[in-house]
Structure formats: C-alpha cells, structure tokens
Chains A and B, each alone.
Chain A
Amino acid sequence: MAASPAARPETTHPNALRAACDDLLAQLSDFWFGMGLLAIWGLLTLIGVVVDQGKDAAFYATNYAPPLARLVLRLHLDNIYHSPAYIGMVGFIVACMTLATFKRVIPARLPPLRAVRIERIPLNANLVVAADEATVRERVETFFRTRGWLVRRRDLSGTEWTFADRHNWARRGVIVAHIGFVIVAIGTTIYWATGYSGQTAILTGKSVAIPENGTRLRLDRFAYRFDPIKTRSGIVYQPIDYVSDLTVTGRDGVPHRDVLRVNHPLDIDGTLYYQSSYGSAVRFALKKDGKPALSPADPLFEGDGFPLGTSSRTIRYERFAGTLDAKGGVAKDPRPNNPGVLLGIFDGDQEIGQVLLPLHRALSLGDGYRVEATGVTNFSGIQYTHDPGSPFVLAGALVLLAGLVISFHFVPARFHVRIESATGGTAVAIAATTVKGFEIFEEQFGALVGELRGAVGST
C-alpha cells in the first residue's frame, strides 16, 4: 500500500538531518578517530624532522636521490610545518579535541549521582550492622565526612543512596588541561594577528631602520670572545661572549646607547631585540691588467658573490677563516690572527674551484684579473619580535601544566552506598569507582572498608 503524503511524518527530513549530524559529531569526537588524526599529524611532523626544511631546490637536488628530491619539492615537504595540509591538520585536531571534550570527556568525568549495581563494580563490599537504618546511615555519613569526603544523599527510584566523593574538584583536571591548550592557541592567534618578527644584519658603523616600527639601530661595535680551553682531547676554542654596542633611536626620537648580548634581549617600545648571530663581511678589490675594475661597492656577506668583469665567471665569498695555518689551511682557532677567506669560483652555475685566500693577498684569476680581500668588518645579526600574545601563551602553558598535575596526581573516587533494612539489622552495600579504574584504588578501598566496619559496628 502506497503511503499517502499525509501519512508520512512531517519530521522525517529534520530527524534524518539531525541523525546525520549526530553521526558526524560522534565520528569526529570518536576516540580512535582522534588517535588516527594524531598519528597522521605525528607522521607529518616526522617527515619535517627527517627532511631538511626551508632549503632551496638546489640543496635537495644535491643532497637527495633524484626521485626523493622531486618528491620533496612536488609535495612541498621542504616547508611542511607551514603547509596548508599541516596547519589544516592541527586545526582539525583542535576542533575534534574541543568536540570530544564537550561530548565525551565532560560527561564521563563528571558523572551524575545515580544508582549503580553494586555487585557489578569490582570494588564492592557488604556489611551487616545490628542497628536501625537511620543510625547506620548517620554513622556511615559521619565516617566519610570526618575523613574529608563530600557526602551527598539522594533518593533514586525509591531507594535512598549515600554518595561520598573525594577530590571531586579534581575531576575537572582534564578540562583544565585542555583549556590550557585553548589559551595557548589564543596567544598564538594574537601574535599572528598583531605581532611581527624579523631579522636584520648590521655592519659595524652602519645603521638600519626596522621596517615595522621605524626604530633605528646603529652598530657602534661588535665584539666576540673565544677562549682556548685545554680539554682531554686537545685545545677547544670555546665561544664565551657576543656583544653588540648599539645606538638606539626609538619612538621618542632620542638616541641612546645600549648593549645587546645573547640571553639579554633589549626591550625597545614593546619590541624585543636579540643577539642572534654574527659574522665577518669582507671588502673585495678587483683589478684587470693592474687597473681597478668594477668591484662590489659594499662589503660582502658570506654567500654573496660578484661578477668577474664582463666574463661569465663569478666569485662567491663562501666563508671567513679567522686563522690560516702555516700550510695555508684553516686552523682551529676562530680568532682573527691570520685571517683569510674561502672563495668559490663559478663559471655560470658550475663551480670550477675553491681557493683559500689570505687577507690582503691578491689572487690571479687569468685573463688579467686579480682579486684581493682588502678588509674585514664585523656584523651583528639581530632578531626582533613584537609578540603581544606571549602572556597568553605563558598563562596557557601554566594552566595546561596545572591541569596535567591535577588529573595525574589526584584520584577522584566515589563511594556508592546503599543502606537498607535487613533481617538482623541493616545491610550496607558499598561500591567504589574512580576515574582511573579500580586497581589503583584497591588497596585504599580495602583499608577504608576495614575502618568503616569498625566505625559502624559491623558484625
């Protein structure tokens, strides 16, 4: 028989939609689904650990097998932590965690006071007391109350139950921990929305302006200190200090001097400046047939290069060497005793050789070209960050920690006590549940029941 439209319940469609929504929410908040997402996230993170990040294509082509290099570049595994897939996965996990917190964790952690089947709970005991029901109930409640347990009485389906809770507040530890994650996420979002960070390198005697805030930094002097230390395997040149003497002009427009060291950032108008790196920039002079040719106007940083006149060759300043040994090699001592530079010579993209060149000594490159490193200027690498979200991140981290401590180190336990008149007195049925299973509370349960027997005068 065909059903008439009138016979079809009007609520079919909305119910189906609701059921589908419920199914979806149940799936997204499912424990194993969450674990699966975490496993995928772990795999992506592991790829980020194994695969070098943030390198250029040439690096992968040189250091990886060709199919692997192609795989890394085509799947954008070279910058995986900032990829949409990775960020999306983190966002999805956070969303699922939030859902699971409200749909599953809170209901499980904060169970209502309800009747239970005492005999089905592994931690259970039965006592018989030769006294009336009211007296026994009073004794039981006093027993738990004097030991600091929260005692509550409920009439459930005609049976009066007594519930005694210990560390009931600690049931919220997991929720507190997850709230910590949310606060950390708020802090990082504030940084993402309103903060900034960057790096700059300043040559000694030069100034830079920070583009985001207009602060001017002038490097008056950069100094580093390495001490030779005698160890069991020989002399080690241990870095001791990196110091930038700066003249800073902040928002007030008044220049003032400051010293920047590692672990001692400068706070200028709410932006923090850090001593992050240093190096030696080198000035080069190029001559052709004994006459000055077009040379780089400014000192070069490591990795910079310049063309060799009109030829197809280029010179790249690879690295500064503090001390060259008697054989012309690089000595262990990084201090500038007998400095030199390592130059890479390229013809087009092809490197045709490397030369270690002492400072102030000319190198003949053929075709009448001669190059000389004529001077060294130290530079200081400075990192700067403006992060208004950092107090939130710190607060969130501490909340997370508090949540972990609460949830790990307290065992919220609940005694379910049913007291009924029985032949020969009053029967007391007791069961205990905890949020961490039964084994962890077995010993204490046994001890408490033993004490309770004495306290209520159980036969």
Chain B
Amino acid sequence: MNLDQILILVAITAYIAGALALLNYMLSRAEIAKRAGIPLAALGCVVQFGELAYRWQSSGLWPLTNLYGSLSLFAAMSVLIYLVFAFRYDLWFMGGFVLALAAIFLAYGLTWDEGYLPAVPALQSYWIKIHVPLVISAYASFMVAFVSSVLYLIKFYGEQRAAKAAAPVAASAPAQRSIIVGDAPNLERAAAGGSTLALWLATLPALPNLDIITYLLIALGLPLLTLGIITGAWWANEAWGHYWSWDAKETAALVSFVIYALYMHLHTRRSIQGFWCSWISVIGFVSIVFCYLGVNIWISGLHSYKM
C-alpha cells in the first residue's frame, strides 16, 4: 500500500467516524460528540487535500483529469465548505450527513482510480486548473445545500405530521422567540409529549433558518457554477473552436444553472421560500449528479472523462 492509498484510507475512516460522531451530536446534542466530530472532519479534509497534492507532486500530473481525482476534490471541497459554514453559522447538526455523503462519493471515486494517467490532449491546458476546481466547488456547495434542504423538508413534513396527529395549536400559544414565523409548534408539543422523532426534529434550527442556510450555500454555488460554465466555454473555444456544442455535459450544466437561477428568482417571493425552494434545491442537486456522474459515465460525449 503506497502513501497515496494510506492517505485516502485515513480520509475515508475520518469521514465515517466524524459522520457517526456528528450524527450522534445531532440526535443527542452531546457536546463531546461534537468535539470529536469537528477534528475528524477537519482531519479527513486536510488529508484529502494532502493526498491530491501528493499525487500531483509524485507523478507530475495534475490530479483532476479523471473521475477519481474530481470526485476526491468534490468530497474534500464539500467538507471544507461545510466546515466554513458550520463554524460561521453553527451547523454541526448536519455534519453527519455531509460527511457520510463525502465518504460515499470518495469511496465511489476509488472504484474509478486507475493510477496515474497522463492527460489526453484536450485536457492539456492551463484551463483545467481553473475550470475543474470552480465547477467542483460549485457542485460541493450544492451538495451541502442539498443536505440542508432535505433537513428542511424532513422537519417540515414532521411538523405537518405532528399537526395532523394533534389538535391545532391554540392561538394563545407561547409567543415566538423570534420574528421567524411558521416554525414547528406542533413538533415542540409532540416532543414535550415524549416523541423521540419529534424531539430530534424540534432540535433542528427553525425552518426559516434552514431555508436561509440553503440560500447562502446556493448563493455561493451559483456564481461558482456560472464562472465554471464561462471558463469551460472559453476553454472549449480554445480547444475545439466553439464555445458551446450542446454536448450532453454542457446542456446538463445549463439545465442545472437554470434550476438554481430559478431557485434564486423564486426565493425572492415570500410565499415560495422554504418548502418549494427546498424542493428546487433537491431537484437541482439531482440535476448536478446527472450532470457530473451521469454524463461522465453513461453518456458518450466531449466530457466523458472516466479514467
């Protein structure tokens, strides 16, 4: 086993252990679980970047020319973006899901690892050092946004279910702690009644706060994706003589861009914020997965770089 493989093994182990610790934190709010999860997440992330740097240094080949390299960066960037947001907005509750997804994507990437391969002529350009990291960072932002959207929807449906199970909360319910309206009074009541699931859901941030977190993550991802599409088009013009070929990857990236642009437009409308926007974020990430993996693996085209 060479250093490269050892580092990846360490990263996956750290992500899995970190995911378990932060899932435990989300369920129990035990401070010790959080204290264990944060360094594990940071360790996995640092080790992964170290592995990519080692790969580059030892082979002299830019490591992002194949699916393994890009998936590795995707996992590392997802964790990095998550950590930055988690420190800023106290998002440790969702770390278990982010780290678990990062571990899954990284492990899946390993199945495409064929060792060190020189880049094909189309990829022999300085643009690969600009375009690929930008696009992968955008995907990573959308992945973290996907997690917060899913948590929003779980909490939303949990509240709906709790509302159905109980009589509606009386108008004289205790005043909200903040201006945030539409949080989960039924869940809180069900939690007080001893429901474990309701207790867990009630400890998640208020729905509007989850919505804002998703918004902020997409607000990071969309400009990155836009810049990625712009640099990709410029590179395509340099390599093939046209900005846009309606290649499957280009079209899928455009569709993803439109979905997230739609999200941003719809998010300006108060009646659509939250529930509908969370669904759009979920759909957007499905489109990103198709654009990223579906096109690379299943559809033959200008961007079918697997090995």
Asked whether, in the complex, the Cβ of B121 is within 8 Å of the Cβ of A233, the reply is no
Assuming A122-B179, A440-B212, is B227 touching A239 (CB within 8 A)?
no
Residues 192-240 of B contacting A (Cβ, < 8 Å): 208-209, 211-212, 215, 219-220, 222-223, 226-227, 230, 233-234, 237-240
Interchain CA distance A138-B267 in the complex, whole Å: 37
A319 CB to closest chain B CB (Å) equals 16
Is B164 part of the binding interface, using a Cβ–Cβ cutoff of 8 Å? no
Asked whether, in the complex, the Cβ of B241 is within 8 Å of the Cβ of A240, the reply is no
Asked whether, in the complex, the Cβ of A197 is within 8 Å of the Cβ of B223, the reply is no
Cβ–Cβ < 8 Å partners of A383 in chain B: 240-242
Assuming A404-B223, A442-B180, is B230 touching A397 (CB within 8 A)?
yes
B115 CB to closest chain A CB (Å) equals 5
Asked whether, in the complex, the Cβ of B219 is within 8 Å of the Cβ of A408, the reply is yes
Asked whether, in the complex, the Cβ of B258 is within 8 Å of the Cβ of A38, the reply is yes
Interchain CA distance A283-B95 in the complex, whole Å: 64
Interchain CA distance A164-B151 in the complex, whole Å: 36
Asked whether, in the complex, the Cβ of B240 is within 8 Å of the Cβ of A276, the reply is yes
Summed over the interface, the residue pairs from A and B with CB atoms below 8 Å come to a total of 123
Is B120 part of the binding interface, using a Cβ–Cβ cutoff of 8 Å? yes
Assuming A48-B251, A272-B241, A274-B239, is B125 touching A31 (CB within 8 A)?
no
- Give the interface size bracket for B toward A: 35 or more
Assuming A231-B307, A439-B212, is B122 touching A197 (CB within 8 A)?
no
Interchain CA distance A49-B299 in the complex, whole Å: 10
Q: Mark A238-261, 1 if CB is under 8 A from B, else 0.
A: 111110000000000000000001
Question: Which residue of chain B has its CB nearest to the CB of A225?
Answer: B121
Is A123 part of the binding interface, using a Cβ–Cβ cutoff of 8 Å? yes
Is A45 part of the binding interface, using a Cβ–Cβ cutoff of 8 Å? yes
A287 CB to closest chain B CB (Å) equals 39
Assuming A231-B114, A262-B121, A405-B223, is B255 touching A398 (CB within 8 A)?
no
Is A308 part of the binding interface, using a Cβ–Cβ cutoff of 8 Å? no
Is A229 part of the binding interface, using a Cβ–Cβ cutoff of 8 Å? yes
- Give the interface size bracket for A toward B: 35 or more
Asked whether, in the complex, the Cβ of A442 is within 8 Å of the Cβ of B115, the reply is no
Cβ–Cβ < 8 Å partners of A384 in chain B: 241
Q: Mark B75-91, 1 if CB is under 8 A from A, else 0.
A: 00000000000000000
Assuming A53-B246, A262-B122, A263-B124, is B258 touching A42 (CB within 8 A)?
yes
Is B252 part of the binding interface, using a Cβ–Cβ cutoff of 8 Å? yes
Q: Mark B253-273, 1 if CB is under 8 A from A, else 0.
A: 011001000101111111001
Asked whether, in the complex, the Cβ of A240 is within 8 Å of the Cβ of B121, the reply is yes
B199 CB to closest chain A CB (Å) equals 24
Assuming A48-B246, A232-B115, A239-B120, is B262 touching A38 (CB within 8 A)?
yes
Residues 107-125 of B contacting A (Cβ, < 8 Å): 113-115, 117-118, 120-122, 124-125
Cβ–Cβ < 8 Å partners of A49 in chain B: 248, 251-252, 255
Question: Which residue of chain B has its CB nearest to the CB of A109?
Answer: B268
Interchain CA distance A48-B301 in the complex, whole Å: 14
Q: Choose among A274, A276, A408, A439 the residue that contacts B222 (Cβ–Cβ < 8 A).
A: A408
Cβ–Cβ < 8 Å partners of A144 in chain B: none
Assuming A31-B269, A394-B234, is B121 touching A239 (CB within 8 A)?
yes
Is B178 part of the binding interface, using a Cβ–Cβ cutoff of 8 Å? yes
Asked whether, in the complex, the Cβ of B240 is within 8 Å of the Cβ of A274, the reply is yes
Question: Which residue of chain A has its CB nearest to the CB of B269?
Answer: A31
Is B279 part of the binding interface, using a Cβ–Cβ cutoff of 8 Å? no
Asked whether, in the complex, the Cβ of A439 is within 8 Å of the Cβ of B121, the reply is no
Interchain CA distance A137-B9 in the complex, whole Å: 64
Cβ–Cβ < 8 Å partners of B178 in chain A: 442
Is B243 part of the binding interface, using a Cβ–Cβ cutoff of 8 Å? yes
Q: Choose among B120, B215, B242 the residue that contacts A385 (Cβ–Cβ < 8 A).
A: B242
Question: Which residue of chain A has its CB nearest to the CB of B124?
Answer: A263
A79 CB to closest chain B CB (Å) equals 10
B2 CB to closest chain A CB (Å) equals 13
Cβ–Cβ < 8 Å partners of B264 in chain A: 408
Interchain CA distance A438-B255 in the complex, whole Å: 30
Is A437 part of the binding interface, using a Cβ–Cβ cutoff of 8 Å? yes
Asked whether, in the complex, the Cβ of B273 is within 8 Å of the Cβ of A437, the reply is yes
B71 CB to closest chain A CB (Å) equals 16
Asked whether, in the complex, the Cβ of A231 is within 8 Å of the Cβ of B115, the reply is yes
Interchain CA distance A341-B172 in the complex, whole Å: 85
Interchain CA distance A241-B226 in the complex, whole Å: 30
Q: Choose among A31, A42, A122, A238 the residue that contacts B120 (Cβ–Cβ < 8 A).
A: A238
Cβ–Cβ < 8 Å partners of A48 in chain B: 246, 251
Interchain CA distance A373-B34 in the complex, whole Å: 72
Residues 132-190 of B contacting A (Cβ, < 8 Å): 178-181
Asked whether, in the complex, the Cβ of A261 is within 8 Å of the Cβ of B121, the reply is yes
Asked whether, in the complex, the Cβ of B239 is within 8 Å of the Cβ of A262, the reply is yes
Interchain CA distance A53-B237 in the complex, whole Å: 21
A386 CB to closest chain B CB (Å) equals 11
Cβ–Cβ < 8 Å partners of A439 in chain B: 179-180, 208-209, 211-212
Question: Which residue of chain A has its CB nearest to the CB of B252?
Answer: A49
Q: Choose among B115, B121, B212, B252 the residue that contacts A263 (Cβ–Cβ < 8 A).
A: B121
Cβ–Cβ < 8 Å partners of A38 in chain B: 258, 262
Asked whether, in the complex, the Cβ of B241 is within 8 Å of the Cβ of A393, the reply is no
Asked whether, in the complex, the Cβ of A236 is within 8 Å of the Cβ of B180, the reply is no
Interchain CA distance A408-B225 in the complex, whole Å: 14
Cβ–Cβ < 8 Å partners of B254 in chain A: 45
Q: Could you list some 30 contacts between A and B, CB below 8 A?
A: A31-B265, A35-B262, A38-B258, A42-B255, A49-B248, A49-B255, A53-B246, A81-B246, A122-B181, A229-B115, A233-B114, A236-B114, A238-B120, A240-B120, A262-B121, A263-B121, A263-B127, A274-B239, A274-B240, A384-B241, A385-B237, A398-B230, A401-B226, A401-B227, A405-B223, A408-B222, A435-B268, A436-B267, A439-B180, A440-B212
Binding site for A on B (CB under 8 A): 113-115, 117-118, 120-122, 124-125, 127, 178-181, 208-209, 211-212, 215, 219-220, 222-223, 226-227, 230, 233-234, 237-243, 246, 248, 251-252, 254-255, 258, 262, 264-270, 273, 307
Given contacts A45-B255, A438-B179, A442-B179, 17 further A-B contacts (CB under 8 A): A31-B265, A31-B269, A42-B258, A45-B254, A197-B241, A197-B242, A231-B307, A239-B120, A263-B127, A273-B241, A276-B241, A384-B241, A385-B241, A394-B234, A408-B220, A436-B267, A442-B180
Name the 3 nearest CB pairs between A and B, nearest first.
A383-B241, A408-B219, A274-B241
